[in-house]
Structure 1
Amino acid sequence: MIGKPSDLRTRADAASAHLPALMLASERLAAMIAPGAHGLRRAGPGEDFWQYRPAGVGDGARSIDWRRSARSDTEFVRDREAQSAQTAQIWLSPSPDMNFSGGPDRPTKAERGRVLALALGMLLLRGGEKVGLLGQAAGTGRLQADRLAEALCRPAPADFPLTELRPDRHVLILSDFLTDPDWIAQSLQRAAGLGIRGIVVQILDPDEENFPFEGAVEFRAPAAATRHDSRDARGLRDAYLARLAARRDWLRERCAQAGWQFDHHVTSDDPAQILGRIWAVLGPKGVH
């Protein structure tokens, strides 16, 4: 077990507290929230919505929604309308490199990734969508949030589960993308062919983002089991930042070709910021 699911849940709650429930973009949603008699109201956890219709013969006073009716000259009755929940899946890289943190005052990339994954999952579950980690069963409701927290706190398979991609779903991929990126190009190509839309988020530590090193430094890459000793780390800075920018441009281009979005996050930043951007992309006015 990697950390406590309850602690992860607390941090995810805090990170997502400023955002409303997330309903994935689709033509179905656009129709359901259009102005008029079909005002959208969540009926509670699950996949039901309230649909309003004008009252007719046989509708008693108890069935009339007087609050809704007060806004017009017509009396309205509430009916349940079933929503066909969409499915979102999340993948967080289990690479050993994700366990890096440049200081005791900030989380590792893996810790921040778990918070982002669970926070987004909780927002989607509140919106009535089905959510799961890629390669695991998706579900709805509060119990699924607990299952997500527990799954995120367990070790995961090393490789991206390419064969687990399913048609017409939304996928969030979280990684640092500092090692061989060929797998993501292959994954995005397959996703595009299946009609999958989603977001790729690069998570970096501030030291990886800014390369503040000087003097003699030993660099290690746990995932590749390699090390590099430098006597003049500052002399490597420009070349490193150029390669990082090139990698980021490459990722952004591959995402655009697949109809996906690309973003990046630094662990010293408030996780609420990147969550807000993800919400805007996946929500009703974002990616379709």
Structure 2
Amino acid sequence: MSDPAALRARAEGLAGAFPPLLAGARHLAASVVLGAHGRRRPGQGDEFWQYRPAIPGDEARSIDWRRSGRSDAHFVRQKEWQAAQSVSLWIDPSASMAFASDSALPEKRYRAAELGLALAILLVRGGERVGLMGHDLPARGGEVQLMRLAAAMEADPDGEYGEPTAREMPSRSRAAFVSDFLGDISAARAALTEAADRGVSGVMIQVLDPQEEAFPFDGRTVFESMGGGIRHETLKARDLRDRYLDRLAERKADLADLCRATGWQYHCHHTNTPATQALLWAYSALERVV
């Protein structure tokens, strides 16, 4: 028998190869029950998807004569597209995402990374390829890729606020941006506009701490950014509340409008609510976008 201490050391060394974030994301992904379904698009494949009315130019062999015999029109039997597609993730790595108003709540960056990685697990499980922008990780499938994504997402914060980009997105692919989007909105606007021009569709998840929605401050308060580069002191914090809430509502509306204009979908998630809700929304939304 091996020495127990040595055995434990080897076991801990083996477990250490798996980032804690990956374990949390696997647990989150496992808590989501998904029906067996494909990519909901017509194309090359073996599975039947839907019937559509025949149009001029359709070959006679493509018509389903049994289905057509039950009506006065001709119908074509479409199969579901089954080729793997690339999905690019951008998980905001900035210092702003390191905020949590309570020790019982996760930092925004951890929730964002957990959601992104759990989404990657579900997509890879469904046969898709997933990449992470900003880390030289182009879209790939498989277990090794999930390990690479987890390690990259656990990197230290960088910069005050994150700025997404569309440079690493393959044309006509899909993408997911996860951030608090509290910095300059021009970067997000430029990224989604470029993405739309290149045929990239996707989802935007805004992750906020509940304190950022409530603004429960009164009296003398010092506000400082997580990176320390921005600081504001006031003696009457409550007087700022209405203006702050108006600005936050305006930001959320701008993000939602930007998504509508570019064919993306927007969702706001709070760290005091179950992560499964946002994960289900994101996975379903990505399955709908084309």
TM-score range, shorter chain: 0.7 to 0.9
Alignment of 1:131-280 (within 5 A): 131-134=130-133, 135-155=136-156, 159-223=163-227, 225-280=229-284
Aligned 8 A contact 2:94 2:158 in 1: no
| Aligned counterpart, 1:27 | 42
> Does the CA-based 8 Å contact 2:117-2:146 persist in structure 1?
yes
The 2-side partners of 1:90 and 1:29 are apart by: 26
1:28-48 deviations in Å (ceiling 9; x for gaps): 389835379xxxxxxxxxxxx
Is the CA contact (8 Å cut-off) linking 1:88 and 1:132 kept in structure 2? yes
Q: Which moved further from structure 2: 254-263 or 150-159?
A: 150-159
Residue identity (%) = 35
Check 1:83–1:31 CA distance in 2 against 1; reply closer, same or farther (3 A cut). closer
> Cα gap change, 1:224/1:28 in structure 2, threshold over 3 Å: closer, same or farther?
farther
Is 2:13 the counterpart of 1:9? no
1:104 aligns with 2:119: no
Q: Which residue of 2 aligns with 1:60?
A: none
Please give the alpha-carbon distance, in whole angstroms, between the structure 2 residues aligned to 1:172 and 1:224.
28
Give the CA deviation at 1:83: 4.2
The question of whether the paired residues in 1 share the 8 Å contact of 2:45 and 2:81 is answered with: no
Question: Retained in 1: the 8 A contact 2:205–2:266?
Answer: yes
Q: How far did residue 279 of structure 1 move?
A: 1.7
Partners of 2:17 and 2:231 lie apart in 1 by 32
In the superposition, relative to structure 1, how do residues 22 and 201 fare at CA in structure 2: closer, same or farther (>3 Å)?
Answer: farther
Distance 1:82 1:129, change over 3 A: same
Query: Do the aligned partners of 2:88 and 2:176 also contact (CA within 8 Å) in 1?
Result: yes
What is the DSSP-based 3-state SS (H/G/I as helix, E as strand, rest coil) of the residue aligned with 1:215? coil
Shift of 1:23: 5.3
- TM (norm. structure 2) is 0.76
Does structure 1 retain, via aligned residues, the 8 Å contact 2:88–2:130?
yes
1:117 is displaced (CA, Å) by: 0.7
CA deviation map 1:160-201 (0-9, x unaligned): 343222201110001111111100111111000000000111
DSSP 3-state at the match of 1:28: coil
Of residues 7-16 and 252-261 in structure 1, the stretch that sits farther from structure 2 once superposed is 7-16
Structure 2 residues without counterparts, runs of 5 or longer: 1-15, 52-79
The 5 A counterparts of 1:59-70 are none
**Offset of 1:22 from its aligned partner?**
7.9
Question: In the alignment, what sits opposite 1:287?
Answer: 289
Q: Is the 8 A contact 2:178 2:206 kept in 1?
A: yes
Q: In structure 2, how many angstroms separate the alpha carbons of the residues matched to 1:177 and 1:4?
A: 32
Q: Is the 8 A contact 2:99 2:226 kept in 1?
A: no
CA displacement at 1:147 relative to structure 2: 1.6
Q: CA deviation at 1:148?
A: 1.3
CA gap of 1:246–1:5, structure 2 versus 1, over 3 A, is farther
**Mapping for residues 72-151 of structure 1, pairs under 5 Å:** 83-134=82-133, 135-151=136-152
**2:178 aligned counterpart, secondary structure:** strand
TM-score where L is the length of structure 1: 0.76
Change (3 A) 1:282 1:181: same
